[in-house]
């Protein structure tokens, strides 16, 4: 899956400037998704800790 994605991006980068613009959008979206997932992961860990503390009390 990742290899296909890289091949797609590579083909885009070989194309016109418009494709490079789309490539930039794809990269930004990808980074945003990863950041979003990390934030959710941290929130879930925080909530789980909160529940554990609540259970102990």
Q: Which two tokens stand for residue 39?
A: 């934030």
Q: What is the mean pLDDT of the chain?
A: 78
pLDDT of residue 43: 92
Residue 41 has pLDDT above 70, yes or no: yes
pLDDT of residue 36: 93
Instruction: Report d(CA 27, CA 23) in Å as an integer.
Output: 6
**Percent of the chain residues past pLDDT 70, beyond the cut:** 68
Residue 1 has pLDDT above 60, yes or no: no
Q: How many CA atoms lie within 13 A of 6 on its CB side?
A: 3
pLDDT in tens, 13-36: 666 666 677 778 888 888 889 999
DSSP 5: H
């Amino acid at each position: 899956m990742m290899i296909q994605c890289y091949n797609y991006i590579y083909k885009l980068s070989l194309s016109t400037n418009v494709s490079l613009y789309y490539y930039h959008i794809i990269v930004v979206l990808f980074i945003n998704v990863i950041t979003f997932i990390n934030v959710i992961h941290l929130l879930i860990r925080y909530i789980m800790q909160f529940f554990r503390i609540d259970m102990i009390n």
